[in-house]
Amino acid sequence: MESGRLFFDPTSGCHGGNMLFLGSGDPVFRGSRSIMGIEETSSKRSRPFFSSPDELFDEEYYDEQLPEKKRRLTPEQVHLLERSFEAENKLEPERKTQLAKKLGLQPRQVAVWFQNRRARWKTKQLERDYDLLKSTYDSLLANYDSIVKDNEKLKSEVVSLTEKLQAKEQGGATIPAQKSETVPEDMNDIVGSLQFSVKVEDRLSTGSGGSAVVDEEGPVQLVDSGDSYFQTDQYPAGCVGPVDGMQSEEDDGSDDGRSYFSDVFAAAEQQQQEEGEALGWWVWS
DNA sequence: TTGTGTTTTATTGCCTCC
DNA sequence: GGAGGCAATAAAACACAA
């Protein structure tokens, strides 16, 4: 059986990969696909896996009696492969052949390198996505806590003022009618607070029409100023913003740079909003 | 030096696509 | 059905602390 991938460490008795060996030492592959395509291995049986062109004639590596050992690619080989990967992380057959020739490697080795490189890139990408999700979550949680606190504060203010109002109305006989229509001393604070609350709701709700806090026709006119309560600079850079184009030292542009979770972030944002509405955590009426 | 953890290279089996 | 991709995994090579 054609192998070219056989390596055996006499010191440990270990064979590379998951090969099964017959008594003769010939590897038998369990899969239907041979490890290295015939066209990729022909006449390469005794060659080590990793050879720079210079090493091709190094007896140390080509002694037929020596067992083949797994060897690392040279920095130059890795550099060229990295550059190629940056250009395009998928490998067409023609490019594979060209690279292999250029590097003095088996085409299969080039393919394997790309395969592993894509796996490494994906792992890094997942790590980045996790960090991004976590920072998004932390930021939203902080905002949520802040809003809950404000909500509680406003509720207690309303209770307090309602009590004051009731007390005044009960003793209203002594108060001139003209006077009763004036705004209570601390009403401006209430207005300010209510405006704040409405802004929050306008920003978060999905079209309740600025409902909620106070009847539009009530004594206090609450107008959405158009300001967003959630300033974008409240989020970490790139946190809620577009994920596209996010790159790092590992993200070499070989892919489109998109996060695997770009739509997940959008969905999470939407879900959070819906959950907020369902729970009514920003509506205190 | 040696034990241990990490990285890199390679294999296998399964899946999808044409 | 073959080719190629990917996940899981093995094992060599490497890094590094004790």
The string of pLDDT tens digits covering residues A105-146 is 999 999 999 999 999 999 999 888 988 999 999 999 999 999
Nearest nucleic acid nucleotide to A3, CA to C1' distance: B11
How many Å from the CA of A124 to C1' of B5?
Answer: 19
pLDDT higher than threshold 60 for residue A67: no
How many Å from the CA of A24 to C1' of B11?
Answer: 20
How many Å from the CA of A73 to C1' of C16?
Answer: 22
Dist. CA A276–CA A59, nearest whole Å: 71
Question: Which residues surround strand C, with CB < 7 Å?
Answer: A 7, 9, 12, 14-18, 33, 37, 69-72, 90-91, 93, 111, 115, 118-119, 122
Higher per-residue pLDDT: A36 or A165: A165
Q: Which of A8-12, A130-134, A185-189, A226-230 has the highest mean pLDDT?
A: A130-134
pLDDT higher than threshold 60 for residue A278: no
pTM of full prediction above 0.75:
no
- Among the residue ranges A37-41, A162-166, A187-191, the one predicted with the least confidence is A37-41
Beta strands per DSSP E along chain A: 8-9, 14-15, 20-21, 27-28
Dist. CA A43–CA A41, nearest whole Å: 6
pLDDT the model gives residue A262: 52
| Proximity of residue A31 CB to strand B below 7 A | yes
Mean pLDDT of the region A253-262? 48
How many Å from the CA of A48 to C1' of B2?
Answer: 29
A280: phi > 0 → left, psi -120 to 50 → alpha, else beta; which?
left
How many Å from the CA of A51 to C1' of C16?
Answer: 27
Look up the protein residue whose alpha carbon has the minimum distance to the C1' of B8: A72
Compute CA distances A262 → A14, A141, A225, A266, whole Å.
Answer: 44, 20, 31, 7
Higher per-residue pLDDT: A92 or A30: A92
Half-sphere exposure of A102 (CA within 13 A, CB side): 14
pLDDT the model gives residue A34: 36
Tell me what the pLDDT averaged over chain A comes to: 58
Bases of chain B below 7 A from a protein C-beta are 8-14
Bases of chain C below 7 A from a protein C-beta are 3-14
Compute CA distances A79 → A92, A103, A111, A125, A285, whole Å.
Answer: 19, 11, 15, 21, 64
How many Å from the CA of A172 to C1' of C18?
Answer: 85
